[in-house]
Chain A
C-alpha cells in the first residue's frame, strides 16, 4: 500500500516516538521493581520531548537564535516548554527515588509483589 508507506516515511519520527512511549508505558505497568518503574516513567517523559520538538523543525531552517545571516528559523515555542519539562522531570525522579529509598528501609525490599504481601499479612 503506497499510501501507508508514504505515511511511514513522512512520519518516521512519530513512529519511533510512539514506540518509545509504548515501551515506557509497558515498563511502568508490567514490571514490579520500583526503580525499573521509575526508569520507565523517565523513558515515557523523554519520548514526549521528542513528540513536542519534532513538529517544530523546519527543513532548511536553523536554531532559533537571531542572526542576520539566516532567514528561516525553527519554532522556539516547543523548546521553551520542553526545557521546563526536562527540569521538572528530573525533580520528580529525585523525589520518587527518595521515596523508594525510604520504602526499602521500611520493608526491606522494593519489589511490588512482596510489599503487597507484607502489607496484607501485617
Chain B
C-alpha cells in the first residue's frame, strides 16, 4: 500500500508538468528542437501514465474514447485542408505563401497550422492504439 501511495503522489506532481512540456515543445518547435511529432507522443505518454497508475476507466473519463477516435482523421483533415486552402487562394497545393499578406508570414502561418494537425493525429492515434490493446485484454 505504501508503494502505491508514492506512485500516486508522484504521478499527480508529474502529470501537469508533462502536459505543459508537450505544449511547450509543440509551440516552440520553430525556435528550438521540437515540433508536432514529439509533442503528440509526449501527450500520449501523459495519458498512458495516468491510465497505468489510476486505472483505465479513470483515463477514459479524461480522454474519452470517441474523442480520441475522432482525433485520428481530424489531424489529416487539418493538414490537407491547409493545402487546399492554399490552392483555393490561388497558389499551388501546400504553397503557404499565399495564406497571409506577405510570403514569409504566410509560410510561418502554414507551418504552425500543419504542426497542429500533426499533433492532433499523432496523439489521437497513439492513444487509440493504447486503448485498443488494453481493451482487448480485459
Contacts and interface: CB of A to CB of B under 8 A. Distances in A.
Interface of A: 63, 65, 83, 86-87, 91, 94, 97-98, 101
Q: How large is the interface on B (under 10, 10 to 19, 20 to 34, 35 or more residues)?
A: 10 to 19
A83 B37 contact: yes
A11 B75 CA distance: 42
B8 to A, nearest CB: 29
A83 to B, nearest CB: 6
Given A94-B129, A98-B132, A87 B33 contact: no
5 contacts: A65-B32, A65-B33, A86-B37, A87-B122, A98-B132
For the complex of A and B, list the 7 residue pairs with the smallest distance between their C-beta atoms, beginning with the closest: A94-B129, A87-B37, A65-B32, A83-B37, A101-B136, A87-B122, A65-B33
Contact of B33 (A63, A91, A94): A63
Interface string B102-136: 00000000000000000000100100010011001
Contacts of B35: 83
Interface of chain A, main secondary structure? helix
Interface string B23-46: 000000001110101000000000
A25 B33 CA distance: 32
Nearest to B31: A65
B52 to A, nearest CB: 18
B45 to A, nearest CB: 13
Contacts of A86: 37
A54 to B, nearest CB: 19
Contacts of A94: 129
Given A65-B31, A101-B136, 7 more contacts: A63-B33, A65-B32, A83-B35, A86-B37, A87-B37, A94-B129, A98-B133
A56 B38 CA distance: 21
A97 B129 CA distance: 11
Contacts of A97: 133
